[in-house]
Amino acid sequence: MNGKNRSEVVLAFAIAVALAVAYIARRPLILIYVSVLFAVMIAPIVERIHRIRIAGRYPSRGLVILLMALLGLTLAALTGLLILPRISEDLRQLSSELPQRISALMQRAQSYPALRQINAFTLQQHAADIFGRTVQLFPAIATGVLGVFTFVIMTVYFMLDGEMAFRWVISLFPTNSQARLAATLRRAQERMWKWLAGQVLLMTILGTSSGIVYGFMGLRYAMALALFTGLANIVPIVGPITSVVLAAAVAAIDSWAKAAGVLAFYALYQQVENAFLTPRIMKQLVGLPGLAVIIALSIGAAVAGFLGALVAVPSAALVSVIVREYMVHPPPQTTHSNS
């Protein structure tokens, strides 16, 4: 085996080992990738606040990040103080009224021929089984909370040292291609930042309108449901479906009319968002066709579940910028003259 063949075998073996290690460590690698992506999208906000002169001085990036974190924690605490007492009171009331509600629901179900075969004992067994499975989810929930904490810490770290890491990554490439790569990644960062800004605006509009409608309908947990509806809207398709199903299920506890009202509101809002809000807010921000968004969501959800779906669209925006730069407009070929 000559030297060239030996080097090709070694390279193939190294690639195989790297892929195997990446597969084994895929969960922390996905968490790192998501942290980097959010740090990239949030960094422009930090940079713009950093350039504001306050009392004759420019606040440091670390101070800006700390203030943003404190603001987020304060808003979360205020939300909890506003929502948790109502949820606690509703749970207490629901526990006292649960037998009567189950009895009324069974009587209502008996009025439909297709539901007359339901046995109350079997229903209780299924409820007990669901409760047992729910209890088993608590370790997974604890792991998820730990993952969120790790994600926040890593995102803050990448925002603090992101520029240094960016320059280091660029330095790994040939000198003659560094400037173009850096400019391409900067454009991708701007595109992802605009996507995040547009999503935050759409989330705010949906959350506010949901809160107003749910409050007017007298829906249980109206504030909590509106908050969840707004936040879930950051995940296209999956988030809205989950939020409307949850809101309709809560509304059905009181009456089918409220559940129908929730579905009608959301159907109307989707028409307004798709026909008016999204084209004006997202136009020329991301520039991805609907099919590309669906494909990105499918791949992201298959690879990393919720986190994958969360970052699927900005990841697709990043890939589209790189593909457009290096495949649609490839770098000019360098010609070498023969001596």
**Which pLDDT score, from 0 to 100, does residue 265 have?**
92
Mean pLDDT of 111-123: 58
pLDDT at 92 over 60: yes
What pLDDT is stored for residue 300 in this prediction? 79
Cα pseudo-dihedral 277, 280, 281, 287, rounded to 10: 120
Return the pLDDT at 137: 47
Q: How many helices (H) and strands (E) does the chain have?
A: 12, 0
Q: How much of the chain is in helix, strand and coil states, percent to nearest 5?
A: 85, 0, 15
Q: Highest mean pLDDT: which of 32-46, 97-111, 144-158?
A: 32-46
Which residue is listed with tokens 């990393």? 304
> From the CB of residue 185, how many other CB atoms can be counted at a distance below 10 Å?
18
Backbone φ/ψ region at 79: left (φ over 0), alpha (ψ -120 to 50), beta? alpha
**Segment 182-201 mean pLDDT:** 83
- Per-residue pLDDT at 337 exceeds 50: no
Binning pLDDT at 50, 70 and 90, where does residue 285 land? Answer: low
Compute the distance between CA of residue 20 and CA of residue 26 in angstroms, rounded to an integer.
10
- Render pLDDT for 137-174 as a digit per residue (tens, 0 to 9): 445 545 555 666 777 788 888 887 777 888 888 888 88
3-state secondary structure of 339: coil
User: Residue 128 and residue 307: Cα distance in Å, rounded?
Assistant: 30
For residue 338, pLDDT over 50 is answered with no
When comparing pLDDT for 199 and 267, which is higher? Answer: 267
Q: Where are the domains of the chain?
A: 12-172, 177-329
65 φ/ψ angles, rounded to the nearest 5 degrees: -65, -40
6-15, 86-95, 216-225, 237-246: segment of lowest average pLDDT: 86-95
Instruction: Report helix, strand or coil for 47.
Output: helix
What pLDDT shows up at residue 283? 57
CA distance 266 to 222: 14
Sign of CA dihedral 192, 195, 201, 207: negative
Between 331 and 304, the higher pLDDT residue: 304
Span 38-43, mean pLDDT? 82
Which pair of structure tokens corresponds to residue 19? 């892929």
* Per-residue confidence (pLDDT) for residue 209, from 0 to 100: 92
pLDDT (average), residues 45-67: 80
Alpha helices (H) along 25-112? 26-50, 61-110
Structure tokens at 267: 């159907």
Question: Percentage of residues in the chain with pLDDT exceeding 70?
Answer: 69
Q: Can you tell me the mean pLDDT for 182-207?
A: 84
Rounded CA-CA distance 79/230 in Å is: 14
| pLDDT range class, residue 248, cuts 50, 70, 90 | confident
- pLDDT at res. 339: 40
The string over 11-40, giving b where at least 16 C-beta atoms fall within 10 Å of a residue's C-beta and e elsewhere, is eeeeeeeeeeeeeeeeeeebbebbbbbbbb
Q: What is the mean pLDDT of the chain?
A: 75
pLDDT top residue among 114 and 182: 182
Going by pLDDT thresholds of 50, 70 and 90, the confidence category of residue 190 is confident
pLDDT of amino acid 241: 83
pLDDT of residue 94: 60
Beta-carbon contacts of 40 under 8 Å, excluding residues fewer than 6 positions away, are 158, 162, 189, 192, 193
